[in-house]
């Protein structure tokens, strides 16, 4: 059985994690709560020790769901499945955007709302300190200094161990880094979604983890993979007798030792396939074709 260790490791902050992690965004739309919990537990059994979540991963009303019914928080699913947490488990979360009571997105959150989101994460995960909090930006031109200063203050209070940033430009990364050290940058990135490709080498040089989201979905983003798969992805999948999703994940991990994958799924077979991608190796010629 292939486990998450096959992808190699990276020191995220002060803790070594397997580079194949798990993203929790797609857990909450699953109407079968028990299935979501089984997937989380199975992921940890298979060596996943880096789990990504967010204060705003909630349905209905969250990123992937606009229906009605009782709210399901990814953070609560994680707690129900995995608490008490193994000391090797690293929980990364995001704050920034929020949901108003009417279900609409609130992007211009106040500094007090940032604190409230951190406190909500602490409460729902049932921890005294969050391993990593990424400031999720909704604008690539807005200043980040005041918000990052607010998170740095929470870190100084002992509520957060490490800080990161998400959906950021290099200028915003530099602005945040001038306030407090960064251990991760989390941006959209895939074989066919390379707006931020230049950041990968830059973060490698700085020793900062680069954590792509939409590595499988690519330009399909929240809607999932599109049918317009690049020819090279399809051909290499056939050559290796693996799925196109696995080629996408394996390519992601080939981009640098500091690149961490966080594919999300609510299906156990997809989980097994994702983790198996961490053992897949491509030749230089194949990588050149994918590039």
Gap between the Cα atoms of 59 and 241, Å rounded:
36
Gap between the Cα atoms of 261 and 18, Å rounded:
9
Gap between the Cα atoms of 279 and 291, Å rounded:
20
CA distances from 39 to 57, 124, 231, 273, 285 (A): 17, 19, 31, 13, 35
How many other C-beta atoms are found inside a 10 Å radius of the C-beta of residue 87? 8
- Local structure of 6: helix, strand or coil: helix
Gap between the Cα atoms of 104 and 98, Å rounded:
9
Question: Any idea how long the chain is?
Answer: 291
Count of helices and strands (H, E) across the chain? 10, 13
DSSP 168-224: --HHHHHHHHTTS--SEEE-B-BTTB-TTHHHHHHHHHHT-EE--BSTTTGGGGGG-
How many other C-beta atoms are found inside a 10 Å radius of the C-beta of residue 31? 13
Active-site residue, selected from the candidate residues 10, 22, 56, 57: 57
Gap between the Cα atoms of 127 and 120, Å rounded:
10
Instruction: Tell me whether residue 73 is one of the annotated catalytic residues.
Output: no
Active-site amino acid positions: 57
């Amino acid at each position: 059985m292939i486990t998450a260790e096959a992808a190699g490791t990276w020191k995220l902050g002060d803790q070594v994690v397997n580079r194949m992690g798990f993203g929790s965004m797609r857990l909450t739309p699953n109407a079968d709560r028990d299935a979501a919990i089984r997937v989380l537990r199975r992921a940890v059994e298979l060596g996943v020790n880096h789990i990504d979540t967010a204060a705003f991963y909630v349905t209905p009303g969250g990123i992937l769901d606009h229906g009605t019914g009782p709210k399901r928080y990814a953070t609560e699913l994680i707690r129900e499945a995995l608490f008490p947490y193994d000391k090797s488990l690293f929980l990364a979360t995001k704050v920034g955007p929020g949901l108003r009571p009417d279900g609409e997105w609130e992007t211009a959150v106040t500094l007090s709302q940032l604190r409230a989101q951190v406190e909500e994460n602490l409460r729902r995960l049932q921890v005294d300190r969050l391993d990593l909090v990424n400031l999720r930006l909704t604008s690539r031109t807005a200043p980040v200094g005041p918000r990052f200063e607010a998170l740095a203050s929470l870190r100084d209070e002992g509520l957060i161990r490490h800080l990161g940033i998400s959906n950021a430009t290099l200028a915003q990364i530099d602005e945040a880094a001038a306030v407090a050290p960064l251990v991760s940058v989390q941006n959209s990135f895939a074989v066919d979604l390379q707006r931020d490709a230049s950041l990968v080498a830059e973060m490698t040089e700085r020793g900062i983890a680069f954590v792509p989201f939409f590595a499988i979905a690519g330009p399909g983003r929240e809607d999932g993979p599109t049918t317009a798969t690049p020819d090279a992805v399809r051909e290499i999948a056939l050559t290796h007798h693996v799925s196109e999703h696995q080629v996408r994940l394996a390519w992601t991990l080939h981009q640098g030792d500091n690149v961490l994958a966080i594919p999300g799924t609510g299906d156990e077979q997809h989980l097994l396939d994702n983790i198996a991608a961490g053992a897949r190796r491509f030749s230089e010629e194949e990588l050149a074709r994918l590039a």
